[in-house]
């Protein structure tokens, strides 16, 4: 059989089409296995039990196979089996992160929310493209390289340009927590119970699907507990959040002081010792007024 060689490399638009298609394929595969899968224990970075299912592994295989075929020489950092492929490109330092099934515990419980799949592309220290797929709704959130717009894309291929309502104050919005409020510091408990925010909501599962609520404007802020942060969790959500204008603030539990966190892409797991507050850049003046002399953020 003859091989046809096409000239040139994939441009930003073509790269985005490939990545969105891989997210869509992962969604289809995982949805098909919702009621028929096997789960196994796996080593955990925390004291909490962790699990992997055959849906995680089959979805990761979908990503990796096509990434290797479509992007030869690019690095890959994927969750399952500690997959690490180094970048062998002669010039650019480029690598993908893959979280094939984000929210595995929620998936095992059969939840109708909080289950996702995520991919990002980092080139020379910048997250240039990222997509997060919602397994239950089939929606995809993300942006392509060369664009400052983030879209919410439905299974029917209609797209909504996401933008934050900068006129809506934090006091009129809810703060999202991913853990019970009692696990948080006094400073965060004060935030969660008003009047800085209207009140708080608690939701778990996929970090990507949780933060999609922030990107859509359903909540005005989010707080994460101290944690081990992995490349496949961090890079996609940081990339999308940054494109939409969100900032990440570190809250010291002992003093209640707030400082900025430079959210660079990572290739290895790192540890956050403080809680993290995520709000939109347009809300910094409000946050400064809330924290008063504990505010150490410099834009």
Domain ranges across the chain = 12-161, 170-294
Which residue's entry shows tokens 């997060």?
132
Q: Residue 75: which pLDDT band, with cuts at 50, 70 and 90? A: very high
Percent of the chain surpassing pLDDT 90: 87
Q: Residue 235: which pLDDT band, with cuts at 50, 70 and 90? A: very high
CATH topology for 170-294 is: D-Maltodextrin-Binding Protein; domain 2 (3.40.190)
pLDDT at 194: 82
- The DSSP secondary structure of the chain, one letter per residue, reads -PPPPPPS---HHHHHHHHHHHHHHHHHHHHHTTTS--EEEE--SSSS-EEEEHHHHHHHHHHHHHHHHHSTT-EEEESGGG-EE----SS--EEEEEEEEE-HHHHHHT-SSS-EEEEEEEETTEEEEEEEEETTT--EEEE-TT----EEE-TT--EEE----TTS-GGGSEEEESS-GGGS-HHHHHHHTSSSSSEEEE--S-HHHHHHHHHTTSSSEEEE-SEEE-HHHHHHHHHHHHHHTEEEEEE-TTT--EEE------SS-EEE-SEEEEEEGGGHHHHHHHHGGGB----
pLDDT at 222: 98
pLDDT at 118 over 70: yes
pLDDT at 1: 45
Q: Whole-model pTM?
A: 0.94
CATH topology for 12-161 is: Fructose-1,6-Bisphosphatase; Chain A, domain 1 (3.30.540)
In contact, 116 and 135? CB cutoff 8 Å: yes
Mean predicted lDDT score pLDDT of the chain: 93
Q: Residue 257: which pLDDT band, with cuts at 50, 70 and 90? A: very high
Q: Residue 299: which pLDDT band, with cuts at 50, 70 and 90? A: low
Least confident residue range of 45-59, 124-138, 178-192? 45-59
pLDDT at 18: 97
Percent of the chain surpassing pLDDT 70: 95
Topology agreement, domain 12-161 and domain 170-294: no
Q: Residue 46: which pLDDT band, with cuts at 50, 70 and 90? A: low
């Amino acid at each position: 059989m003859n091989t046809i060689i096409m000239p040139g490399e994939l441009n930003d638009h073509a790269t985005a089409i490939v990545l969105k298609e891989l997210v869509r394929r992962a969604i289809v595969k995982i949805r098909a296995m919702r009621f028929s899968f096997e789960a196994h224990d796996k080593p955990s970075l925390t004291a909490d039990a962790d699990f992997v299912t055959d849906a995680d592994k089959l979805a990761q295989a979908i990503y990796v196979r096509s990434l290797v075929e479509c992007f030869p020489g690019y690095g890959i950092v994927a969750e399952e089996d500690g997959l690490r492929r180094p970048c062998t490109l002669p010039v650019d330092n480029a690598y993908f992160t893959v979280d094939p099934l984000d929210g595995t515990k929620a998936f095992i419980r059969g939840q109708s929310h909080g289950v996702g799949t995520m991919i990002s592309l980092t080139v020379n220290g910048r997250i240039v493209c990222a997509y997060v797929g919602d397994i239950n709704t089939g929606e995809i959130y993300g942006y392509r390289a060369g664009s400052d717009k983030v879209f919410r894309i439905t299974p029917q291929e209609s797209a909504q340009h996401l933008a934050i309502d900068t006129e809506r104050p934090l006091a009129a919005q809810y703060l999202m927590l991913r853990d019970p409020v009692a696990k948080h510091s006094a400073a965060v408990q004060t935030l969660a119970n008003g009047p800085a925010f209207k009140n708080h909501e608690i939701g778990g599962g996929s970090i990507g699907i949780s933060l999609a609520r922030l990107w859509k404007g359903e909540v005005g802020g989010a707080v994460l507990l101290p944690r081990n942060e992995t490349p496949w969790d961090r890079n996609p959500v940081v990339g999308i959040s940054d494109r939409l204008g969100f900032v990440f603030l570190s809250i010291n539990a002992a003093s209640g002081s707030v400082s900025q966190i430079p959210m660079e892409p990572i290739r290895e797991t790192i540890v956050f010792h403080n809680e993290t507050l995520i709000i939109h850049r347009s809300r910094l003046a409000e946050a400064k007024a809330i924290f008063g002399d504990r505010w150490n953020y410099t834009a």
